[in-house]
Structure 1
C-alpha cells in the first residue's frame, strides 16, 4: 500500500475516468519524456486574451512536472517548498512514472487570474493510466511576473488539507507471457518489456489489480475510489499469453538502446513488413511505453508520407528540380538543419538530404486535408488500431493556416506519431500495403486502407535506399541487405534540443527509433538502428 500526499478541496464527486495516454488527442502534449507544444487558442470572440507570459509560465510548470524537475516546478509557484514536496509525494506515493500533461485553452477571470485547464494522464506502475482533469491558476505578482497560484487542487481537484490519495495493489504476479516461439518473456530478462508485458496481461483480463482511493488524512477512512485497474488475478494453471515478439530481436533492440542512446530517453519498434507483427518494442528507460503510446512530432521521417501524397498526384518526380534554399518564410521562417542549402537540387536530392524548404515549397500541390487523407487512406494513420495493447494511432489534423500546412509537410505542427506508427508507415511505403500492427494474435481489424500504386512504392524504395548510400542515413551504409532509410529532426520547444529520428527497412523488417533531445536523427537514432541491424538476424522466422 502506497500513499500520496495530495487530496482534494471540493466535495463534489467527479466520475473517475481511465484511458490510455496514447488515446488522447493532444493540443499541448507533455508526454513520453518530452514536451510537444501546440497553440493555446482559439479564444471566444471578445473574451480577454490571456497574457502570453502567463501561459508560458503554465507551459513551463507542466514541462517541469512531467520531466520530474520538481524543484523547478515549485519555483514557478507561489509556494515553492510546499509545491515541490506535494508533487514529489504525489508521484512517488502513487508510483506514477512520466506524467503526460495536456494543456487546453486558457481563460481570464474577472479578477485577472489566468486559468489553464489540463488533462493529466498518470501512468501507475504495472497497473494502467489514471486520467483526470485539473486547472492551473496563475496570478500576476508585484514585480510583474506570473506565478502558478499554489493550491492542492491544482494537482488534482479532489486533493485537500483533509483528504489525500492512497494506492492499493492486489497481487504483483501476472500470467506467463511468451514470445512468438513460445519462449518465456519477463522484465528480468528483457527490462524494457516490463510495461508491455503488464499491458498484454491487462488486455487479456489478467495480471495485477489495484485502485487509487481517496482517504481521510486523520482517520484513513476511504471516502471514494478514484480509479481501478485490472480485471482478475492470474490463477495457477492459466495458459500462457502468446505474443509476436521475437526474443532475439528484443534482446538486440534493448542492447542497442542501452549502448547507443547516450542515456537519453529513447524508444524503438521493429515489425514485420508482410503482416505488421511487432518483433521488438524497447523503451529507455523502461516505464512508460513511449514506443507505442507516446506522442511525438515525427519530423522529416514524415516526408515519406508527404512524398507518397505528392507522387500519388504525379505532381513531382525524383528527377524534377525543386530548389532547396536555406530559408523559406510562410508566416514564420523555416530553415533546414544547420541552415544547409542545395541550389537547383533534384527532388531526390531534397529527399536524401531532408530539405525542409523544398518540401514546404510544394505545399500548394496538396489540398489542405490531402496529407491527412493520404495518411489515413493508404497508411492507416489516424484510424483505430487494435494492437493488443493500448496504442496511440496517430493524428494528422487539417491545418488551420498556411504556416501550419507548411509545418505539416515536414512532420511538424500538429502532426503526431510514435515509433510504432513510423515503423508501420515504413512497412507500408516499401510494400504498398498497410497491415495493422499487432503484438498479440487474433485482434480484430477495423481499418480500411487502399494499396499504394506500384510505381509509388518503387520510387519510395529507391529514394530511401539513396538516403543510405548518398544522404543523411549514411550511418547505415555498409551493412548488408539493401537497407533503405529516412532520418528526421523534430523541433520540440524553442531553445530545447531537437528529437532525433530514423526509420529503416531491411528484408521483411521495418524499424523506427526516436531519441529525445538527440539533435539529429543520423547522429542519435542512427547508431541505435545500426547496432540493432548488426546484431539481429537477417529476417525473423
Structure 2
C-alpha cells in the first residue's frame, strides 16, 4: 500500500500463539519519530506477543491491559493471528490512526476476521498509542469481559446480500447475521429466494464467538464452521454496505460510530456499519440532539405554522424557567421557522414548543415518526417509549432532543426515510414475507407522516445554507445535524440524518462532539463513495 506525504504501514503480521508457527513483518515509508514509528513498534511487539513492550507504547495503559489480551486468547482458543495494517492517517497535529484487519484462527474451527483501529496521539512530545478496549474488538467497554467459543447447532441456511452474493465477511455486519441465524436459520424450503437444489438437512455443528461484558447477556459475534446449504437473501446492498463501512472507519480519533442506511420506499435496510458494539445501532439509545428537531418541526407545521412563519432565534432564551442556549452562542435574530431549522436554533424550537405545541402535540408527532413503536428487523432492535413529557422545562429540553428523549441510530434513519418518502415504514433486514413478528410486537402498518413535503425543503436548506453547508455533501442531499449533550460539562455525541434520492441514513459518532464538524463530513464520505 502506498501513501504520499507521510509514511505508511503495509504488509501483514503473522503470529503463531503456540508451538511452531511463523512471524513476518513488512514496512514501507517509515517516518522516524512520528506516529508511523510508534505504530510500527506496536505492531512489531504484537507480532512477538510482547505484551510488556506493547504496554510501554500505550499512554495511560489500564491495569488489566495484558489480562484483556490473554483473556481473549484463552477464551477463544486462539492458535494464530494475522494482522494487516493500513497506512497511518494523521487526523490532526497531535492525532493519528492506523486501521488494521485482524484474523484469528480459533482452535482450528475457522478464522474470525474483523477490522479495528489503532489510535495514536502525541503526549509530551512523543507519539503513543491511545489504547481502549475497542482496539481488541470495536465497541468493547472497560467492563469485566468474558470470551467463549461454545459449540452450537448450525442452521441449514446462509444469509446473503440482496443480489444473492455472499455478504461481506469480517465487517460489523457479523453480529446482525448471527442474530438472523438464531431467528431464521432454519427457514429453508418455503423461502422462494433460497437455493432450490440445497440440502434441507444441511447444517451441523458450528462454533459461536461470544462475548459477555459486565452483567449484560452474552452477545454472539460470529458463527464458524457448519455447512449451511440454503441461501436466504437479506436486504443488504453490498455497495452501500462497503461505503458505510469505509465512512465509519474514517471517524476522527478512532471514535466508535455507526451508519444505518434505509430505502425509504420500502423500509429495506441497505447497510449497517456499526463500531459502537454488537448490535448497538439497533439496540443502544442516545439523546438525538438537534436531529429530533425534524420531529418538532413536523409537529409545529401540523399545528398551523409554515416554513415562512416568524420564529426569532436569539443566542439565549429563558422559557418555562429554563435557560436555553444555542450551540457555540450562535444567533440569527429575526428569522423564519425555515431559517431557525437550517441554523439549528435551540432557542427557537424550545420556546415554540412551550408556547405553541404542548406535550401532547410533540408526543403525537414522535409516535407518528416511530418513537416507541415495536421494531422487528429480523435481527432484533428496540425503541424506547417516548417519555411522558411534562409541560415547562421538560418540554423545552425534549423539543431539542435532550432531556429524556432517546433514540437508536436505526430509529433516526427511519425518521429520515419517512420524511424522504412521506410514509413511515418499519425497517427490516429480510423480506416482509419472511418476517414473522408475534402479534404483541407487530410493528405499525405503513402510514403517512405529518408535514413531510415542507420538511424535505427545510432539510435541503440545512445542507445548502445551514449547519451542514460546509460538510462537502453531494448536491441533492437533504439532512439535519445534531450535537447531543450527554453530560453537564457539555460532552456531546455527533449526529447527522439525511436522504438523497431513495436512500436515507443516519450517522452517529459516540462522544464525537459536533454534528456539523464530525458526523456531517462522515455522511459526505459515505455518499461520495456511492
- 2:193 matches 1:198: no
Correspondence for 1:367: 358
Q: Does the residue aligned with 2:227 lie in a helix, a strand or coil?
A: coil
How far residue 71 of structure 1 moved from its aligned partner, in angstroms, is 8.5
- 2:237 matches 1:240: no
C-alpha separation in 2, matches of 1:515 and 1:490? 10
How far residue 449 of structure 1 moved from its aligned partner, in angstroms, is 5.6
Correspondence for 2:166: 184
Correspondence for 1:459: 454
Q: 1:447 aligns with which of 444, 448, 459?
A: 444
Correspondence for 2:301: 311
Please say if residues 408 and 414 of structure 1, whose CA atoms lie closer than 8 Å, have aligned partners that are also in contact: yes
- 2:526 matches 1:532: yes
- 2:475 matches 1:473: no
C-alpha separation in 2, matches of 1:416 and 1:70? 33
Correspondence for 2:492: 498
How far residue 400 of structure 1 moved from its aligned partner, in angstroms, is 3.9
Please say if residues 472 and 524 of structure 2, whose CA atoms lie closer than 8 Å, have aligned partners that are also in contact: no
Stretches of 4+ moved more than 4 A in 1? 69-72, 83-95, 164-168, 171-175, 205-213, 226-230, 232-235
Offset from partner CA, 1:253-308 (integer Å, 9 cap, x none): 111111244411111011101011011100126x4222212211111011111111
Please say if residues 425 and 446 of structure 2, whose CA atoms lie closer than 8 Å, have aligned partners that are also in contact: no
Instruction: Pick closer, same or farther for the CA change 1:466–1:255 going to 2, 3 Å.
Output: same
C-alpha separation in 2, matches of 1:490 and 1:93? 39
**For structure 2, which runs of at least 5 residues remain unmatched after alignment?**
1-58, 77-110, 112-143, 187-205, 437-441
C-alpha separation in 2, matches of 1:504 and 1:168? 39
Correspondence for 2:95: none
C-alpha separation in 2, matches of 1:392 and 1:85? 35
C-alpha separation in 2, matches of 1:432 and 1:396? 21
- 2:502 matches 1:508: yes
Offset from partner CA, 1:183-230 (integer Å, 9 cap, x none): 101433xx12121221221222467559999xxxxxxxxxxxx98989
Please say if residues 75 and 149 of structure 2, whose CA atoms lie closer than 8 Å, have aligned partners that are also in contact: no
- 2:426 matches 1:436: yes
How is 1:52-63 mapped onto 2 (pairs within 5 angstroms)? none
**Structure 2-normalised TM-score?**
0.63
Instruction: Pick closer, same or farther for the CA change 1:93–1:433 going to 2, 3 Å.
Output: farther
Q: Does the residue aligned with 1:184 lie in a helix, a strand or coil?
A: coil
Correspondence for 1:254: 245
How is 1:290-329 mapped onto 2 (pairs within 5 angstroms)? 290-314=280-304, 316-329=305-318
Q: Cα RMSD over matched residues?
A: 3.6
- 2:317 matches 1:337: no
Q: Whose strand proportion is higher, 1 or 2? A: 2
Instruction: Pick closer, same or farther for the CA change 1:166–1:351 going to 2, 3 Å.
Output: closer
C-alpha separation in 1, matches of 2:429 and 2:365? 25
Residue-pair matches, total? 374
Offset from partner CA, 1:448-505 (integer Å, 9 cap, x none): 464135xx2221011011111100111455623x211111110011225311111111
Instruction: Pick closer, same or farther for the CA change 1:460–1:229 going to 2, 3 Å.
Output: closer
Q: Does the residue aligned with 1:270 lie in a helix, a strand or coil?
A: strand
Q: Does the residue aligned with 1:366 lie in a helix, a strand or coil?
A: helix
Instruction: Pick closer, same or farther for the CA change 1:437–1:94 going to 2, 3 Å.
Output: farther
How far residue 534 of structure 1 moved from its aligned partner, in angstroms, is 0.8
C-alpha separation in 2, matches of 1:524 and 1:212? 30
Please say if residues 147 and 209 of structure 2, whose CA atoms lie closer than 8 Å, have aligned partners that are also in contact: no
Please say if residues 261 and 525 of structure 1, whose CA atoms lie closer than 8 Å, have aligned partners that are also in contact: no
**Structure 1-normalised TM-score?**
0.62
